[in-house]
Amino acid sequence: MNDIKAPAGLVKRLAVIVYDALLLIAVLFLATLILLPFQENNLFQPNSWQYSAYLVTVSFFFYAWFWTKSGQTLGLLAWKLQVADENGRNISWQQALIRFTVAIFSWGVFGLGFIWVLFNKDRLTWHDIASQSRLHWKRAK
């Protein structure tokens, strides 16, 4: 049996990322579809900074909504993991913003913020530490 208080390791985190990425891609396609009729002549300008900011915002709301409501995205649910604050409660929107922003930065430096889990004694990533949240095993009801 998994220790509920023990944070998830790197392999589980990467598996969750793959699951969530598939769902997020579908959400981003839908977000693009919604935006498409408002484009000039229905032509899409994918290299505009406004479009990039729009997709990042949609991505943030995708993750933050799940993290603040239930602590679980589809990937977290599949792997029986949950994001929670240090007291086991759902995280706040502010924590979600910090977690999301630092996670992007963690990927931006060649994944070092995620690999950090291998060196941290509590198996925490940079975004866990910065947002004062944890990715832990979900307690069975």
Domain boundaries, the chain: 10-137
Task: Check whether 50 has a pLDDT greater than 90.
Answer: no
Residue 21's Cβ-count burial label (10 Å; 0-12, 13-18, 19+) is exposed
Give me the count of residues in the chain: 141
Banded pLDDT at 66 (limits 50, 70, 90): very high
Single-letter amino acid, residue 42: N
Short-list 93, 87, 35, CA closest to 63: 93
Q: What is the 3-state secondary structure (H, E, C) of the chain?
A: CCCCCCECCHHHHHHHHHHHHHHHHHHHHHHHHHHHHHCHHHCCCCCCHHHHHHHHHHHHHHHHHHHHHCCCCHHHHHCCEEEEECCCCCCCHHHHHHHHHHHHHHHHCCCHHHHHHHCCCCCCCHHHHHHCEEEEECCCC
Report the Cα 105 to chain-centroid distance in Å.
Answer: 12
pLDDT at 64: 98
pLDDT at 138: 81
Task: Check whether 119 has a pLDDT greater than 70.
Answer: yes
Query: Which residue carries 């679980």 as its tokens?
Result: 72
Instruction: Determine contact, residues 63/73, Cβ cutoff 8 Å.
Output: yes
